[in-house]
């Protein structure tokens, strides 16, 4: 349990909040006193996350982050429900469709870019617009990249490209939004246990675990703790940064 309620009353939007890392982030932000809007295309998963949160005025909401209309509806519903925009936004929705470059289909490339990169763009833009339009702009946007976006990875040409794009998008947003006191940072997780990595063959996970200087794969809570720091005023002078949460992998 958090020692301090660093996010007391802060309205937070977490996409991909219905599973894995996003769910752990919802829990951590709520433990810090935030009100959490859990947004996911998996409505059952989002409802399950909601059930596991400490008491608060939290809500689970459906969204397809790759669709501008759906994202617009989400932000409008949050405004109507809470009479204020989210001041913390975590873009955690993401997918993989792994295949080697020589075999990758155009459809798989487009699908991964649509959710991971375009989705991050649409949500970041909609949330930033709502904040700028409010009387007291200021906020923290946290985007989920991946260390794979820096170093590449076999079978992940679409995913690696999307996550490199997320990092560049975040740095640009940080430059443009600083004048409104809106910060934008990227977390670059390494290999974190979640339903996403459950799809990776165990022998591949074992290989990566053996390469991690801290000697283990990451847990969603390892990422959530960093996210809470970036959401809070403890990181008030940090923007445009990329924070690796990898146990030292690829340093």
Tokens 């997320």 belong to 166
The tally of CA atoms less than 13 A away on the side-chain side of residue 9 is: 1
> Distance (Å, rounded) from C-alpha 37 to C-alpha 82?
10
Of residues 134 and 197, the one with the C-beta less far from ligand NAP:
197
Q: Which is nearer to ligand NAP, 17 or 139 (CB)?
A: 17
Q: Which is nearer to ligand NAP, 49 or 239 (CB)?
A: 49
- Give the pair of three-digit tokens for residue 135: 């009387």
Instruction: State the nearest-atom distance from the C-beta of 148 to ligand NAP, in Å.
Output: 7
Residue 84 Cβ vs ligand NAP, minimum distance, rounded to whole Å: 23
Nearest by Cα to 89 from 208, 7, 175: 7
Nearer to ligand NAP by C-beta: 121 or 191? 191
* Residue 58 contacts residue 49 (beta carbons within 8 Å): no
Please, what is the minimum distance in Å from the beta carbon of residue 65 to ligand NAP? 4
In the complex, the residues that contact ligand NAP under the rule CB under 6 A are 15-16, 18-22, 40-42, 45, 63-66, 92-95, 115, 119, 144, 146, 189, 191-192, 194-197
User: Considering the complex, what minimum distance in angstroms separates the CB of residue 42 from ligand NAP?
Assistant: 4
> Distance (Å, rounded) from C-alpha 11 to C-alpha 173?
20
Is 75 buried (19+), middle (13-18) or exposed (0-12) by CB count in 10 A? buried
Helices 220-231/20-31 angle, 10° precision? 50
Is 159 marked active-site? Answer: yes
Query: Which of residues 139 and 220 has its CB atom nearest to ligand NAP in the complex?
Result: 220
Catalytic-role residue among 82, 159, 180, 237: 159
List Cα–Cα distances, 154 to 93, 98, 165, 221, in angstroms: 22, 9, 18, 26
Q: Minimum distance from CB of 220 to ligand NAP (Å)?
A: 6
Residue with the two structure tokens 């079978």: 155
Q: Which residues are marked as active site? A: 159
């Amino acid at each position: 349990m958090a020692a301090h309620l660093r996010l007391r009353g802060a309205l937070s939007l977490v996409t991909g909040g219905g599973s894995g890392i996003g769910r752990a982030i919802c829990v951590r932000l709520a433990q810090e006193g935030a009100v959490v809007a859990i947004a996911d295309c998996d409505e059952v998963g989002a409802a399950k996350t909601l059930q596991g949160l400490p008491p608060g005025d939290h809500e689970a909401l459906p969204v397809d982050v790759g669709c501008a209309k759906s994202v617009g509806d989400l932000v409008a519903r949050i405004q109507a429900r809470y009479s204020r925009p989210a001041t913390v936004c975590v873009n955690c929705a993401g997918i993989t469709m792994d295949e080697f470059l020589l075999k990758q289909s155009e459809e798989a490339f487009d699908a991964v870019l649509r959710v991971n990169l375009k989705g991050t763009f649409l949500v970041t833009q909609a949330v930033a617009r709502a904040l700028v339009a409010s009387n007291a702009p200021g906020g923290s946007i946290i985007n989920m990249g991946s260390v794979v976006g820096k170093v590449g990875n076999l079978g992940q040409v679409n995913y690696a490209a999307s996550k490199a794009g997320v990092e560049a998008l975040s740095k640009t947003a940080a430059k443009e939004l600083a004048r409104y006191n809106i910060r934008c940072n990227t977390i670059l997780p390494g290999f974190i246990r979640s339903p996403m990595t459950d799809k990776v063959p165990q022998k591949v996970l074992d290989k990566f675990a053996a390469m991690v200087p801290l000697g283990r794969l990451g847990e969603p809570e390892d990422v959530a703790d960093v996210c809470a720091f970036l959401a809070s005023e403890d990181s008030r002078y940090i923007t445009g940064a990329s924070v690796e949460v990898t146990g030292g992998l690829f340093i």
